[in-house]
Amino acid sequence: MLENVEKKMMELNCDMELVRKELKRIQSVKCRLKKQKGKSTYENDMKSILAEEQLVKEVRDLIEPHEKPSTQLTKEDIKDFDYDQTMRSIRSIQSKKTLSQYLTEVQFDNDEYRNACQIEEWLLEHKMTVKPLDQNQVYKSQIQMVIETIENNLELSNQEVIRLLQEIL
């Protein structure tokens, strides 16, 4: 399966813009196919389109990995955050607090809200220990993301590793 992902990634030249266009194309085909449920080959066509869409999504995630959502952060995750990540996560978790405070009939009385409050407290504590970096410095979290990508994809080509490293400079 991993070789299929890398093969597709090479077809798209590791270009995120091409990946987005391909994903949009596939989703358009899928949308048109949904309107043709009476077609005799509908089941097979839909299976192949969904498989291709999943493949392109995996290519997208390989080229541009996602961070862990703010609502699932642990204290250990937060220790490695730089200033910018901390500020983004604070804004995100405060938004989550606002949206979750009225989930029950009694305001502020639900686990989701309490969890968000705990994470916000950790983030605010961490914010006091970190500071914005100068222009000539690199964030440790960026290097860790590249290392994790390399570890998770042992068959990653040298060109892809170099591209990931160049992005953090």
Which DSSP string do the residues of 55-68 spell out, in sequence order? HHHHHHHHHSPPPP
pLDDT value for 45: 94
pLDDT value for 136: 66
pLDDT value for 69: 81
Q: Which residues contact 108 (CB under 8 A, 6 or more apart)?
A: 101
pLDDT value for 158: 73
pTM: 0.49
- Condensed to tens digits (0 to 9), the pLDDT of residues 53-66 reads 999 998 888 888 77
Ranges under pLDDT 50 in the chain: none
Residues 46, 37 contacting (CB under 8 angstroms):
no
What's the rounded Cα separation, in Å, for the pair 105 and 101? Answer: 10
Report how far Cα 120 is from the mean position of its chain's Cα atoms.
21
Q: Which residues contact 153 (CB under 8 A, 6 or more apart)?
A: 2, 6, 62
- Condensed to tens digits (0 to 9), the pLDDT of residues 90-116 reads 999 999 998 888 888 888 888 889 999
Residues in the chain: 169
Hey, how many other C-beta atoms are within 10 angstroms of the C-beta on 91? Answer: 12
What's the rounded Cα separation, in Å, for the pair 60 and 52? Answer: 12
